[in-house]
């Protein structure tokens, strides 16, 4: 056997370190090349780190929550002979120069969150992949219900439950005995079929024998069958019966009730903690630094206006069914993107970047629109590329897919780069107007308020109309207030008459 050390690879351009969020393996586990061994969060994304070896995990060199520099050894493997191997499979030189390149690995986010199967590529977020491993589910056999066939945790659970029902009823061996009948005692080969190797935490034993009916009762009562005390044995292994499970469950319930009463009394008198701390690093720190750079570099000015969109509401309602038939959820955002591009074509100064070193303003003749998405890790801005070349349904589908990937932390750095203008939708949370911070080095960002019926004046009378509040923040070094107002008016016109967008 040979020991191979594996360094934290370069998981993204410009990334110097990452937080080891979770280990997916433990010492002694057998792994194959490509199996995910760890999840690492960088200042750009959450990525999965695959093994490059077939072998056994020997040692873990970092703990969950540690910040690990790229190039540091994080895990070692015991592998077999090197026959048939190549130079790339050799262990990295751990005594090289401090600046030696890190071990190469396929860690692009999209690649790292997919599993290659005989039927094609299966996409699943880290949480779903982890759950599949815990439930002993082949991720390649799970049917995904998300965009593009993406697999969710619910899909994994549904597949596991379906497989369990099939296994228990396929040959009739798991049918519960009738009333008054005693369950057959397993012996020999039958006993080995009732061994539960993955039923939960091993509180007392590693293996426990029990008939299917007893196993079902334990699961129903939420009891770890390995923790149920018993003096009965079969073939040298502990054997648990239904009476043992019920007695254990009753004792646990009594203990939980007493503990709950004691805890309630303590909570009534204990003072809440005055302060708590959460780490300021990874994606959250990157967002903060980007916001500070933008705010302290570009002098922000915000122009507020309101678009009347009764016709847009009607048009979207008419097109929703057609979109649904094509498997697309048509949102107002797709219309807004098309209206914004129309405005940028008329006022290209808002689709620009100030190059202070070269002392030039770079006008972009392509339209990559960033969409701010709220996630558990903070605000991320996926970019819809070449919006001017795409139709409404294509844009709507891409926005939905990128937003899902951002929330599931499976989005790649490349999918958040190259933007020329950004949109943020604070109206989704009930907001009306705001002063959004420009996604530097862009020079403008449009904020959308909540679409609601509000009072407007038409022909001297106050009537109710659907309106969309707009907040346009600009870099005043590049864009004048007049240009901001004209751009906003153009966007309003296209939103008020959406049929123009369909041309």
Which pair of structure tokens corresponds to residue 444? 């403008």
DSSP per residue over 395-426, as a string? HHHHHHHHHHHHHTT---GGGG---SEEEE-G
Sign of CA dihedral 172, 175, 179, 184: positive
Give, as one character, the DSSP assignment of residue 154: H
3-state secondary structure of 182: coil
- Provide CB contacts within 8 A for 263, sequence distance 6+: none
113: left (phi over 0), alpha (psi -120 to 50) or beta: alpha
DSSP per residue over 50-96, as a string? E--SSEEEEEE-S-TT-EEETTSEEEEEEE---TT--GGGSPP-TTS
Rounded distance between C-alpha atoms, residue 502 and residue 495, angstroms? 11
Nearest to 468 by CA among 283, 234, 306, 271: 306
Rounded distance between C-alpha atoms, residue 113 and residue 11, angstroms? 13
| 159 counts as catalytic | no
Which pair of structure tokens corresponds to residue 431? 């907001």
221: left (phi over 0), alpha (psi -120 to 50) or beta: alpha
Rounded distance between C-alpha atoms, residue 110 and residue 474, angstroms? 33
What is the CA angle 247-204-207, rounded to 5? 100
Give, as one character, the DSSP assignment of residue 228: S
Rounded distance between C-alpha atoms, residue 51 and residue 38, angstroms? 9
Catalytic residue selected from 300, 304, 466, 476: 476
Residue-wise burial string across 367-403, b where 16 or more C-beta atoms lie within 10 A, e elsewhere: bbbbbbbbeebebbbbbbbebeebebbebbbbbbbbb
Is residue 335 within 8 Å of 312, Cβ to Cβ?
yes
Please state whether beta strands 369-371 and 421-424 pair in parallel, antiparallel, or not at all (unpaired): parallel
Rounded distance between C-alpha atoms, residue 354 and residue 440, angstroms? 10
Give, as one character, the DSSP assignment of residue 337: H
Residues labelled as active-site residues: 476
């Amino acid at each position: 056997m040979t020991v191979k050390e594996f360094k934290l690879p370069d998981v993204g351009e410009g990334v110097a370190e990452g937080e080891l969020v979770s280990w997916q393996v433990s010492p002694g586990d057998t792994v194959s090349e490509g199996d995910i061994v760890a999840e690492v969060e960088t200042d750009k994304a959450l990525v999965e780190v695959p093994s490059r070896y077939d072998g056994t995990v020997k040692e873990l060199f970092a703990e969950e929550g540690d910040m690990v520099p790229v190039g540091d050894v994080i895990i070692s493997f015991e592998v077999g002979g090197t026959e048939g191997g190549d130079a790339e499979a050799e262990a990295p030189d751990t005594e090289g120069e401090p600046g030696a390149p890190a071990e190469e690995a396929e860690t692009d986010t999209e690649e790292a969150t997919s599993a290659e199967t005989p039927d094609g590529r299966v996409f699943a977020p880290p949480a779903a992949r982890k759950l599949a491993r815990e439930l002993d589910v082949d991720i390649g056999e799970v049917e995904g219900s998300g965009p593009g066939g993406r697999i969710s945790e619910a899909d994994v659970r549904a597949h596991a439950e379906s497989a369990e029902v099939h296994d228990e009823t396929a040959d009739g061996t798991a049918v519960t005995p009738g009333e008054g009948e005693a369950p057959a005692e397993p012996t020999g080969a039958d006993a080995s079929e009732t061994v539960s190797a993955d039923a939960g935490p091993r509180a007392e034993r590693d293996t426990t024998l029990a008939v299917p009916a007893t196993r079902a009762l334990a699961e129903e009562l939420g009891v770890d069958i390995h923790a149920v005390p018993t003096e009965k044995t079969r073939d040298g292994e502990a054997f648990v019966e239904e009476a043992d499970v019920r007695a254990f469950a009753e004792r646990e319930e009594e203990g939980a009730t007493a503990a709950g009463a004691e805890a309630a009394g303590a909570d009534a008198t204990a003072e809440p903690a005055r302060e708590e701390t959460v780490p300021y690093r990874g994606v959250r720190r990157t967002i903060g630094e980007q916001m500070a750079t933008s705010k302290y570099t570009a002098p922000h000015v915000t122009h507020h206006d309101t678009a009347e969109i009764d016709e847009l509401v009607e048009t979207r309602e008419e097109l929703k069914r057609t979109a649904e038939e094509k498997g697309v959820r048509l949102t107002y955002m797709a219309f807004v993107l098309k209206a914004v591009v129309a405005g940028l074509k008329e006022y290209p100064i808002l689709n620009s970047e100030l190059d202070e070193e070269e002392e030039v303003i770079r006008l972009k003749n392509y339209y990559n629109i960033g969409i701010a998405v709220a996630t558990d890790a903070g605000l991320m801005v996926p970019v819809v590329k070449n919006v001017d070349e795409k139709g409404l349904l294509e844009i709507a589908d891409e926005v939905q897919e990128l937003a899902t990937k951002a929330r599931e932390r499976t989005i790649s750095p490349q999918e958040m780069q190259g933007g020329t203008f950004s949109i943020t939708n604070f109206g989704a949370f009930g907001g009306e107007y705001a002063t959004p911070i420009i996604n530097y080095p862009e020079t403008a960002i449009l904020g959308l308020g909540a679409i609601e019926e509000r009072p407007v004046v038409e022909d001297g009378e106050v009537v109710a109309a659907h309106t969309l509040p707009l907040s346009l923040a600009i870099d005043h070094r590049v864009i004048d207030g007049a240009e901001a107002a004209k751009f906003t008016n153009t966007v309003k016109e296209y939103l008020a008459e959406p049929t123009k967008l369909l041309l």
